[in-house]
Chain A
Amino acid sequence: MTELNKVNDLVQYAAQIGDNGLIIGHRMSEWCFRAPSIELEMALMNCALDLIGQARELYSYAGKAGDEGKKEDDFAYLRDEQDFRNALLAEVPNGDWGDTIVRLFFMSAYNKLFYTKLAKSTDAELAAIGAKSLKEVTYHLRFSSEWLIRLGDGTEESHRRAQKSIDDLWAYTGELFTMTDAEKRLLEDGISVDVTALKADWDRLVGQILDQATLSVPENDWMQSGSKSEGRHTEHFGYIITDMQYMQRRYPGCEW
């Protein structure tokens, strides 16, 4: 494989991990002024800022690794829908409190396992980003787990609605453990994480918390996919980037 292809793979990989953070981070930022209490609003905004911060570091690195002189803003604000390769789970709408908690829980359980491995990447910069992000997502997992336990083991209504959130979002979890061709090639050099190997641990981790929450793991195993590999998104995605990119599209290069 040529050096150029390796560079392209690395740029794509770093940007794709960043996309996960940016999109779910943006989704969580949509709770600003809408959360059930000031304490929860702060908690969600802290998570959002962590996730968007992770995206910034990964986009910066993708820009540095590539040879087009791209900056983090180019990745966030000037790419089109099909260029984003986040997992579909990151972009599904906030829904109710249960949907938001379950989405964060599924993603954080994955992130915790993923960043633990990324911290051992042979790429020093990805390893450093992994180590820093791991501390943040460990808290996200704690926060979302505690809430899920309370919703599941709370009242009849909170139990019913939390179970519905789990059932609704379950089909978006499979894509997290699929690998693109670039990821597979980078794995040969120990740069990327073998996410297929994380699935068993994720099932165990999620199963434990759902058990504590008196909630059940869905039995259906048909999974949604398409974004990570080909940039095929849910119908909700266009609205996210319209909102997110408006300023840079309307006033190119604007700074404040």
Chain B
Amino acid sequence: MPKHTTEQITEKEWPLWEVFIRSKAGLDHKHCGSVHASDAEIALESARDVYTRRSEGISIWVVPSNAITASKPEDKESLFEPADDKIYRHPTFYDIPKGAGKM
């Protein structure tokens, strides 16, 4: 018999999952959107059906949205602006030997 009684199902919406797609071998998985699904396996299938219909991917990750810890928009100044005037952190002061080709 089934695992749950009807009364045990209290949420009206399925949980949200973030979808990451690898478009081709060698590239990173990239965030492309989200789906609602009851569990990880269904989330994976929904991601396939919604986000790879036009051959966009060769691999999919789904992650529960509530597993992501995000920075706050109001912290933007203190988190990111201090890096703006520290150009010496960019490796632009090196001469690259011709033989090295494109970096």
Name A154's contact: one of B4, B45, B46 (CB within 8 Å). Answer: B4
Whole-angstrom distance between the Cβ of A85 and the nearest chain B Cβ? 30
Q: Which residues 1-35 in B have Cβ within 8 Å of A in the complex?
A: 1-6, 8-9, 14, 35
Segment at the interface with B among A117-125, A142-150, A195-203, A228-236:
A142-150
A155–B50 touching, CB < 8 Å: no
Segment at the interface with B among A34-42, A59-67, A176-184, A217-225:
A34-42
Name B4's contact: one of A46, A146, A155 (CB within 8 Å). Answer: A155
B3–A156 touching, CB < 8 Å: no
A159–B50 touching, CB < 8 Å: no
Whole-angstrom distance between the Cβ of B19 and the nearest chain A Cβ? 11
B46–A39 touching, CB < 8 Å: yes
Determine if B49 is an interface residue (Cβ-Cβ < 8 Å): yes
Determine if B60 is an interface residue (Cβ-Cβ < 8 Å): no
In the complex, A38 Cα to B37 Cα: how many Å? 11
Determine if B76 is an interface residue (Cβ-Cβ < 8 Å): no
Determine if A153 is an interface residue (Cβ-Cβ < 8 Å): yes
Report if A155-B49 is in contact (Cβ < 8 Å); known contacts: A39-B36, A150-B38.
no
Determine if A212 is an interface residue (Cβ-Cβ < 8 Å): no
A39–B37 touching, CB < 8 Å: yes
B53–A142 touching, CB < 8 Å: no
Report if A42-B50 is in contact (Cβ < 8 Å); known contacts: A152-B2, A154-B4, A157-B6.
yes
In the complex, A156 Cα to B1 Cα: how many Å? 8
Residues of A with C-beta under 8 A to B1 = 156, 159, 214
Given contacts A39-B35, A146-B41, 7 further A-B contacts (CB under 8 A): A39-B37, A42-B46, A150-B39, A154-B2, A154-B4, A155-B9, A157-B6
Q: Which 9 A-B pairs have the closest CB atoms?
A: A39-B46, A43-B49, A159-B2, A155-B6, A42-B49, A157-B6, A155-B4, A42-B50, A39-B35
